[in-house]
Amino acid sequence: MSAQHDFQTWSFAIQQQMELALGGLLPPASQLPQRLHEAMRYAVLGGGKRVRPLLVFAAGELVNAPVERLQYAGSAVEMIHAYSLVHDDMPCMDDDVLRRGKPTVHVEFDDATALLAGDALQTAAFEALTMQALADEPADQLRMVKLLANASGAAGMAGGQAIDLASVGQPLSLPELEHMHILKTGALIRASVLLGSYCGEPLASAQRDKLDRFAKLMGLAFQVVDDILDVEADTATLGKTAGKDAAHDKPTYVSLLGLKEAKLRAAELEAEALACLDEFGTRAARLRELAHFIVHRAF
């Protein structure tokens, strides 16, 4: 089996597992108002690349983590991600009508339901971290709760989103753009890797630092590539001018660096990230493959 085929088989299997795990963790219909129940499932199930759970599982391979623990940790981070997309798409934020190829939650349902579905997904994420398989190791479990709260809150994703919203019409410099993305997108990518690593045997602190550096660099690489793909998709489909978020005139890596330099930056980040994994040998094979997938994916 080729390495590429093996990675696809692995990631498909985890995407399937995650669909079941997420479906099982979302509260049942009998416990919820019907519209809220439907909106939560609509937001989470049946779409998305599941990059964050894949990172949880790949990091879990470094530490021989049990699958059940990885499923709960992966579900928690994916629910936070789903909530962030629901709220980000709302008229008071990015005002998008399509997500994952279907109408956004506020379009399919209504604004209030979208707001509540996002809120409820956020709390469901933390409930997923209370499951017994994680409670067996209370110190690790507490670390995970703290990590996910930090990554998704004001010092992480929500803070990054606030900086992003404030930047409309006030272009950011490259360091400011990087800082915003390290929080807005990077914090959750980083948390995914660290959550996976807390699901198994403890790492030595020097190894944890290396893994953390890998995770931070991948968080940034993910966003650089996202900006590149946005521009390439726009150019391919609409012939739009490259480099600006068309709806909001926000700076991107491509608008600040140009397409060629942005691609070089993504390659540099990937190389630096991969170097952090050297000492893990074959145990980091999946993380290397995922790094490659994140940087070389197509739209």
Rule CB under 6 A: choose which of 11, 75, 113, 185 binds ligand GRG: 185
Across-strand partners of 250? 245
Return the number of the residue (70 or 228) whose C-beta is nearest ligand GRG: 228
Q: Which of 116, 108, 294 is nearest to 193 (CA)?
A: 294
Q: Which two tokens stand for residue 62?
A: 């470094």
Q: Which two tokens stand for residue 25?
A: 């963790």
Q: Which two tokens stand for residue 229?
A: 């793909």
219 interacts with ligand GRG by CB under 6 A? no
Q: Which of residues 225-254 bind ligand GRG (CB under 6 A)?
A: 226
Return the number of the residue (21 or 203) whose C-beta is nearest ligand GRG: 21
106 interacts with ligand GRG by CB under 6 A? no
Q: Which of 74, 83, 87 is nearest to 25 (CA)?
A: 74
Least separation in angstroms between residue 12's CB and ligand GRG is: 14
291 interacts with ligand GRG by CB under 6 A? no
d(CA 231, CA 233): 5
Q: How many CB atoms lie within 10 A of CB 8?
A: 14
Instruction: Draw the binding track, 113-152, toward ligand GRG (x: CB under 6 A; -: no contact).
Output: ----------------------------------------
Rule CB under 6 A: choose which of 10, 48, 182, 214 binds ligand GRG: 48
Options 44-52, 138-146, 241-249, 262-270: segment touching ligand GRG (CB under 6 A): 44-52
Question: With contacts defined by CB under 6 A, how many residues of the chain interact with ligand GRG?
Answer: 16
Say if residues 160 and 183 touch (Cβ distance below 8 Å).
yes
d(CA 143, CA 137): 10
d(CA 284, CA 279): 9
Rule CB under 6 A: choose which of 20, 100, 111, 271 binds ligand GRG: 100
Burial class of residue 240, CB neighbours in 10 A (0-12, 13-18, 19+) = middle
193 interacts with ligand GRG by CB under 6 A? no
> Which residue number has the CB closest to ligand GRG?
48
SS3 98: strand
Least separation in angstroms between residue 209's CB and ligand GRG is: 25
69 interacts with ligand GRG by CB under 6 A? no
Q: Which helix (H) or strand (E) holds 87?
A: helix 67-88
- Give the sign of the dihedral formed by CA 189, CA 194, CA 198, CA 199: positive
Options 36-44, 47-55, 168-176, 256-264: segment touching ligand GRG (CB under 6 A): 47-55
Binding residues (CB under 6 A) for ligand GRG: these are: 48-49, 51, 81, 84-85, 87-88, 100, 157-158, 161, 184-185, 223, 226
